[in-house]
Amino acid sequence: MLGYLAIQRFDLAEQITNQMKAIDEDNCLTTLAIVWLKIYKAPSQGTLEGLITSLNELGEKNGYSTKTYNLLGMCLLAKGEHEKAVKIF
């Protein structure tokens, strides 16, 4: 899926995430794939709030990893919350 994002084929990446959701919507990999897709598709402020919430839920449920911290920091940077992002990084 990240390969499709790298070549800006959001339609194909979205197909993959939809297939992942159909198999297991609560899987941590599905959540990470959805977050990556929404970040690449130039999210709005409302979308960023949802992504931050999803990442925090994922971290609380499965433990925070470097990947979740990086994604959370990226969302905070895109939202303009630089001080919080710096603390996470």
- Could you report the per-residue pLDDT of 44-55, keeping only the tens digit for each? 777 888 889 989
| Contact present, 75 and 39 (Cβ < 8 Å) | yes
pLDDT in tens, 16-32: 999 999 999 888 889 88
**H or E segment to which residue 67 belongs:** helix 66-79
For 28-46, the pLDDT digits (tens) are 889 889 888 888 887 777 7
Tell me the pTM: 0.78
Mean per-residue pLDDT of the chain: 89
Instruction: Write out the residue range of the structural domain in which residue 8 sits.
Output: 2-88
How many domains are contained in the chain? 1
Q: For residue 55, how many C-alpha atoms fall within 13 Å in the half-sphere facing its CB?
A: 27
pLDDT at 13: 93
